[in-house]
Amino acid sequence: MEASVWIVNLVVLAAVLLTDLGFREVSGLRLLRPVIVAVVIVPLYLKHPQSDGTGLALEVGGAAVGALLGLYAASLMRFEDSRQSGRIHSRAGAGYAALWTAVIGARLAFAYAAQHWFPQQIGRWMAAHRVTVAGLTDALLLMAVAMLLARTGAMASRRRQLIRERIEAWER
């Protein structure tokens, strides 16, 4: 298994769990950090994306599944407006951690299995559908990054909504 698959997935898992578990402020920096991670990871590891056929569909599908999982992850978080401090906070617990761990564990298990448990079968499938190893790796990478960015986008949206509600209540 390529080191990039391990690195990207473990960096994403560590970043998410360290910044989201428990009661945390939803600050601008917290929302910017995952975008910076994506800006660094994508050009570093996304070397030869497939531009047609099944490979492209696999990459787009990976990104779409990642985005849906990111939105689901965000739905497992609770958001609160602390009027005393003027800050917005999120709360994420065991279910949130379990989802991220299961998704990333499944990606890593698939990548390992593709090389060690069923390499011939996946090789035949890739050849028949003209999917490159890079295309398959890119699909897994895009899934991880899309999950991270969709979760962050949902957090930013919820933060804006709570701030808007605070302003409307103050104006009354």
The pLDDT of residue 18 is above 60: yes
How many whole angstroms separate alpha carbon 11 and alpha carbon 41?
10
Give, in order, the Cα–Cα distances in Å from 95 to each of 9, 121, 172: 19, 34, 38
The pLDDT of residue 1 is above 60: no
- The predicted model gives 110-128 an average pLDDT of 90
> pTM for this structure?
0.88
Produce one character per residue of 147-172: b if its CB has 16 or more CB atoms within 10 Å, e if not.
bbbbbbbbbbebbeebeeeeeeeeee
Query: By C-alpha distance, which of 28, 17, 153 is closest to 88?
Result: 28
Average pLDDT, rounded, for the chain: 89
